[in-house]
Amino acid sequence: MTTADLTAFDRSQLIKELAEDAGFLHCGISKATFLEEEAPRLESWLKQAMHGQMKYMENYFDKRLDPRKLVPGAKSVITLLYNYYTPAKQLDPEAPKISMYAYGEDYHFVIKRKMRTLIERIREMIGDVDGRAFVDSAPVLDKAWAVRSGSGWMGKHSNVLRKQEGSYFFIAELIIDLELQADAPVTDHCGKCTACIDACPTGAIIRPYTVDGSRCISYFTIELKDAIPQEFKGQFDDWMFGCDICQEVCPWNRFSKPHTEPAFEPHPDLLGMTRNEWVELTKDVFNQLFRKSAVKRTGYEGLKRNIRFLDK
């Protein structure tokens, strides 16, 4: 059998094997079609201004809902998950905290490299395939595609969950012009649990499966460029960049397994810094710690603002 004789199912299985070889935690496949269920949800979420100052969420509404408008000729959406969980923690319990995903090198660059390798291997094995890779940097509803592809279910905290791995993984997509066998969605296993809703200190999870982004600690510490509203003073639980609370309390994350990606290892000085060292952080030390990090998105002045806001 030649690659020209491969069925949609055969091509799908081959791509999943190549994704596993490239280090991805999981690969799920969907048809590149209009996201009917998500359209009214996204429209309602935007109308209620739950995106806060994230004005980019208002752009490219049609492209967010239909990958064929984003990638002409698209037939399939390949969802790829990449594990970033580590049991390593910051040593000083009083130190301002950084979300686990930002411990190492910026995931955008790491995963883009993996995806470039994957698409090259797909072309070697299957032939001429056209498409684009997306890593949380374009109008693509990553979580919706992950759910549609059976890569996990949407948790009540709006993160995608998997029974054997929890939720500490990045989501990326390859949108390509190749006909593939789509996967079926999996069932929801949150049950009656409300741990994430109960634990959120700012009340950002306003109801199951709906997060008011404008109340989220991650939004305040990363996306918001203005001063953080004083009404939230004392509610950040020492988070200075991002927040992992809803993931930390989720029972499914007891199944998380450590990643094996060297690029995600933290800078050797990062986890050992004391609260006082963070308070006295200089621009030189910031640049040294976060030279290739996602924390650069907030910038030195933004991180200092966040640290000052945590002052008791």
pLDDT of 255-292, one tens digit each? 999 999 999 999 989 999 999 999 999 999 999 999 99
Residue 186 placed within a domain: no
Residue 190 placed within a domain: no
Q: What is the pLDDT of residue 4?
A: 60
81 and 143: one domain?
A: yes
Q: What is the pLDDT of residue 3?
A: 55
pLDDT digits 0-9 by tens, 3-57: 567 899 999 999 999 999 999 999 999 999 999 999 999 999 999 989 988 888 8
pTM, entire model:
0.95
Q: What is the pLDDT of residue 2?
A: 47
130 and 211: one domain?
A: no
Residue range 168-181: mean pLDDT, rounded: 97
The reply to whether 136 belongs to the active site is yes
Residue 278 placed within a domain: yes
- Which H, E and C letters describe the chain, residue by residue? CCHHHCCHHHHHHHHHHHHHHCCCCEEEEEECCCCCCHHHHHHHHHHCCCCCCCHHHHCCHHHHHCHHHHCCCCCEEEEEEEECCCCCCCCCCCCCEECHHHCCCCHHHHHHHHHHHHHHHHHHHHCCCCEEEECCCCCCCHHHHHHHCCCCEECCCCCEEECCCECCEEEEEEEECCCCCCCCCCCCCCCCCCHHHHHCCCCCEEECCEECHHHCHHHHHHHCCCCCCHHHCCCCCCEEECCCHHHHCCHHHHHCCCCCCHHHCCCCCCCCCCHHHHHCCCHHHHHHHCCCCHHHHCHHHHHHHHHHHCCC
218 and 157: one domain?
A: no
246 and 285: one domain?
A: yes
pLDDT digits 0-9 by tens, 53-81: 888 888 888 999 999 999 999 999 999 99
Residue range 97-125: mean pLDDT, rounded: 96
Residue 241 placed within a domain: yes
Is 70 exceeded by the pLDDT of residue 251? yes
Is 90 exceeded by the pLDDT of residue 149? yes
10, 66, 92, 136: the catalytic one is: 136
Mean per-residue pLDDT over the chain, rounded: 95
Domain limit, last residue, from 176, 211, 239: 176
pLDDT digits 0-9 by tens, 205-235: 999 999 999 999 999 999 999 999 999 999 9
- Which residue range is the domain that position 20 belongs to? 3-176
The count of structural domains within the chain is 2
